[in-house]
Each structure stands twice: as C-alpha cells, then as structure tokens.
Structure 1
Amino acid sequence: MSLRPWRNIERRVSRQIMVGSVPVGGDAPISVQTMTNTPTEDAAATIDQIRRCEEAGADIIRVSVPTKEASAALRQITRAANVPIVADIHFHYKRALEAADAGAACLRINPGNIGSEERVKEVIAAARANGCAIRIGVNAGSLEKDLLEKYGEPCPEALVESALDHIRILEDHGFRDYKVAVKASDVFLAVAAYHQLASTVDCPLHLGITEAGGLIGGTVKSAIGMGSLLWAGIGDTIRVSLSAEPEEEVRVGYEILKSLGIRSRGVRVVSCPSCARQGFDVIRTVEALEQRLQHIKTPMSLSVLGCVVNGPGEARETDIGITGGGQGKHMVYLSGVTDHHVQDADMIDHIVRLVEAKAAEIDAAAHPALDAAE
C-alpha cells in the first residue's frame, strides 16, 4: 500500500495498440504528442521542426497530409523522423492510402468523412498491410449534420455517438488497432464526453482540448481539462493544442504529466511567486533557469525560494534547492540538506552546474554498465 494513498491514480483499463514503436494504452507510459505546422510539402522545414519536437521529448508527431504533394514529401519525412509519424487525413481517402504506403505509423481519420464503405475498406486494408494504427478523431466543431440535427448542438452524447459509429465501421471490418479522441474547445463538453466514452469502450483514448488558445490560456484550459481526466485515470496519449510552436505543446504536456506524478522528464522546478521578503529576483532567476536547463532530460527536482520562510521545507523535498539570504548570500541545499552558500553573481551558473552534475550522477547510477564502457 502506498504511504501516500491520496496520490494514487487508478488508471482505466484499456487494451494496447502500437503506433510504430510506441505502445499506447494498457500499462504503457502516457505518450506526449504534438503536430507540425509547416507546409508538409516542404519536407526540409517539416523535418527541422520535427527535430525540435523530438528534442523537447515528443513521443509521436502528427503531420497534416492534405495534398498529393504532401503525400510524396511524407515518405522523406517518415524516413528522417526518429519517432512515429501520424498522418492527419481529412476527406480524401487516397491521401490515407498514400500515407500508409509512405511510412506513416498511424492514420488520423474520421471514417464518416472518408466516403463510401468501399473507400473505408480500402483505407483499412492499406493500414493493415502497412502495420498502421488508426486514430478516430471526433471534434465538436465538425460533427456530422445528422447528429447536430438530432441533438440540436454539440453535446457529450453526440460526440460519443459519433465515435461509436466510427468504431463500428472499423470493428465490422475486423480492424482493432485504433484509438479514439472526442475533442472540444469547451472543457466541460470534452471532459464529459471522455468520461462517457471511457465507460463504454476498451480502446486507448487520445486526450485533447482542441483549439485551446494561446500559450497561457491554452495551457490553463488543457491543464484543467486533461488534468482532471488523467487524475481520474482516463487517457493513454495526449496532445496539448496551443497557438504556439509545437515544441511548446510538448513541454506543457510533460508539465501536466509531471504535476500529477504520472511521468517525469527533465527538471521539475518548485518556486515561490516572490514577495518583498525575497533575497534575490526569483522571477528572473526561474526564467533563466528554465531556459538554460531545457537540455536536461533526466527527471529531477529543483526548488528556488526567495527567502527562508518556506525554503528549507521545500528544499527537503527536492534534489537541489536554493533559498535567499541576506547581503546577496544564499543557501544551497543538496538532497534536502544545507550544503554551502553562493553569491548573487554566481548563483545561476552555479545552479546550472549543480543540476548538470546531478543529472550525470543519476544517469550513471541508472546505467552503470554503459557508464563503465564509456
């Protein structure tokens, strides 16, 4: 039994599928996705953006494939990518066939938009032949006309009915390597739809609050919506939808997962909002540290507190900590214990060096054989 039962999250039981080399669902780690925004026809620009997203930690990256030219570029893109590529398909079923042949690991489709059942059968056959998964993407902004007429407006029941209709198409053709999303920009609508769907199906669920907004507003909406679902154990892969660069979506995704103790990557910063008691400029210090520590992938924690009111207590819970002192002299904590002082002028560089050293120490302990070989 956990010593802290109030931290336990009981994850919904789902079957597992593979998106390329990444398992989704079951007991697999919750994967973090994003989507490129470069013209896919420009393979070089798209690959460059994929590299930045990979560096930020993206497990899966989605690429829009609206044209035949995009399909042609996708072959080069999938070969260059180090993570599975999902081809985003709307309306034209031939783009799905081309994407499957071009190396896409997953096809994001809405079977109802593909056309006749014969066309859907062709897409399923192409996915099966190429080892592709399929993501059914239901969105409140593009619900079928008959469902809008039936329910009068987008509602949880309409989103779930749309998803079940599309699932039935795949199941009728014996295809089960699929995951489902029921997204909406309205947090209440999306969360209610996911709860209903989660209790109805056993497939993996892709979480998202679509069209969430800019970096700040979209982060807040996504954290509330996806955070509440993840806390309830719902969700197997996530994409934070922001009007921002895609690597920012990845970073926010990890922050949501880190805040719930679900998955860790990089430095988790605990910092105070700052007040008149601060012994150094907390805001600028945290900004600088977050920027300079982006290259750290090793999970670890850092507390940055402006004074000694809460500083020692927070430092006891983190790998490295610093609290503000008088006359520009601040206390550094290592593994929760007071260790030494540092002056204002050296503080940021000093913390960066400590974090890098701690990361190397953690990595060496985790991979002793590899470290010895090097």
Structure 2
Amino acid sequence: MSDEMSSDCAGTTISAAAPGDRGRLTRRTAIAALAASLAPAPLLARPTMSAAAMFRRRFVLALPMTSPVVQDAIGRPLYPSFFAVNGRGREVFILYGFDQRPGDSGAIFCVFDLDTGEIKTWFYGTQRWREALIFREHSGQRWLYSLGTQYPIRYDITELPKMGSYVSPQKIYNKAPRSYSQMAWTGADFVYMKGGGQKREFIVTDPEFNPISEFSFPLSCVGIYSKDEAQLAYPKTQGIAWFRERFVMGSGRAYVLGSRAPRGNAALPGNQQGILSCDSGGKLIGAALCNPDIALGLMGGMIGRKIRVIENEGISAANDGRLYAIWQVQHPDSFASEGRKWGIIITEEVSSGPDAVDFSKGAFELLVNDKDRSLDR
C-alpha cells in the first residue's frame, strides 16, 4: 500500500459507491474494496445518521475570535475562514485570511490544543487563503492540505513551525484542476469545488490530484455565488466533509439578530444554521437546518453568553471518527472588549453524547429540486 493510503483511512470503507468510483474503479479504491470484503465483520455496526441525530450538537471548545498572541503580533483581529481537527492528537487548526497589502491576501494558520484551547503555534502561509483545510498523517508525517493561490497545496507540519514564522508549501500540485474553495478527503480521494464553475460543481481526484471524475450537488442545496440578495434564497455551503459514507456540509451565512431584512430575516434559507448530507452521487439525503434565532439561543447557552451573531465557518471529519464544526459567534456591543476572550465555538456534530443539545426545535424544512443538478449553465 502506498504512503498516500494513510492511516487516516482507519474506519472508512471504500466501496464501489464511494466518490473515487464514478463508473470506473481506480486501482487504489479497487484494492481497498477487496481488502474490505476480506476483512472480518466488525463487532459493532457503524452508527447511523438519522434525522434526529443530525440535530444533536455537543460543545467541545470555546476560543477567542483571534488569539491575543496573534492579534498583538499583527495589530488587528482576524476572522476564521476554515479549520481542521486532528482528533487523535487533540489539535485544532484554524485558517485565517490575512490581507498583507492592498490586493494581496495571505493566510495565517493557528494550532490550538483541542482540550484546553491553549495556542501551540501560529505561522504565515505564503499562498492566498481559501476556504479549505484538511489534516492528514501517516508513518510519523503530518500534513495540512489547502487550496492555494491557484492550485492545491500541502504543508509539512511534522514538526510544528515556530511562532510567527513564514512557511512555504512543501508541495504545489500545479497540474491539478484549479479550485478556490471547499475540499474533502474520503480516505482514498480528494473532492473539491471545481474552479471557475458554480458552487454545485465538484471534481474528484486521486491523492496526487489527478482528476478522476466530476459530479454536482443540487443548486437548491449548496447555493449560488451572488453579491445580491438572491443568494439568501438558498442555503450557503460552508465546507464539505466525507463522514459515515456520505458528504456532510456545514451551512449558514452570517446572521445578525435584529438586523435589517433580508439578512436579518430568520425565515430565509440562506440564514438557516446547521448541516446537510448528500450521497456519493450528490443527492440530498438529510438536512438538519435550524432557525437562526433558535440557534443563537442554544449556542449562547453552551458558553453562558448572550450572542446576536452566528455563522457556520466550516466542518471537519476527524481521524477520531467524529464530525466537528466551527462557528463564529458574537455580541456586537461587546466584541471590541470580549473578542480576545471568546468568539469561536467548536462543536461535535451528530453527537450521541449525553450532554449533546437538540437543535430540532428550530428545524427548517428545506425544499430541494433534485433536477437542478445539471452541469449545463
């Protein structure tokens, strides 16, 4: 088995229905499928993702919007763009967009202890920031994958970089199809949004980013690119992950309680907060979206604070078998003084824990037209 079939495949069954198939098995997925068929049956069945389970959310960690260490170094606060979790190693990686100079944006990566919230290090990336981050490890090597200025990139973090250092990608996949947002790792393949296309169009590649196939999600599930209010008629995809043999997407635009309509309209699809799930072909099979007014109250209860702003900022299927989400939460009246103490919540999604909170009382019914998945523009 090649080093690209890394240990983060543990617990993942790659079958003919997995994204790497798309009508023709790759050698890698064929080997994995054969191995899975020969393996002894597990003692316990894989947990399901019922509609009720998708609404259950457990508090994991609260962090400042920007670590004081980073804010003091750069002289201003930052807002999270995406994240990834190393569940076995108890680490969380947060990617922040950083405007280095007019017209030129870079990235800052922060590494926190998942249990205590203590910052372990932070460093500058030398490529533009994108809303994508994947953590992988194998045989003592540790990598962060993202989507760089034009192409997918990989950072070597086997040894964590020094505080405030500048780090260049270990590898730039400059023959890969371009993309600008959202990436998932299935245990055998990468899946990410097709560059230059619409939000529903995704491409599947092998671990070296050689293209395998393409597919699409329902437009009414993932939303559209638009600077006008039309975008609020659809949920906003905030990251994608491969979890329990399906795609799961974080969803929810920035919602401000009491703001002027329509951005403050709690009934619009674009303002709903939660997760969606689709099968390997892109068909919607589950939705757990919550009215933002209800979500504000429940999220605020997790940290014992009143909040008026909420936005999902990403989702991560971690190597401990859990699904995590990151949320930006604020109270505008106190953000200037309190932003160095709190502003980010990390949760475990689809949680079976006894302390999980049920968000279903704010359930929003999503109407999806599955016929809008055509790649024709």
Q: State the TM-score, normalizing by the size of structure 1.
A: 0.29
Q: State the TM-score, normalizing by the size of structure 2.
A: 0.29
Q: Which has the higher helix share?
A: 1
Q: Could you say which structure has the greater relative contact order, defined with CA pairs below 8 angstroms and 6 or more residues apart?
A: 2
Q: Which has the higher strand share?
A: 2
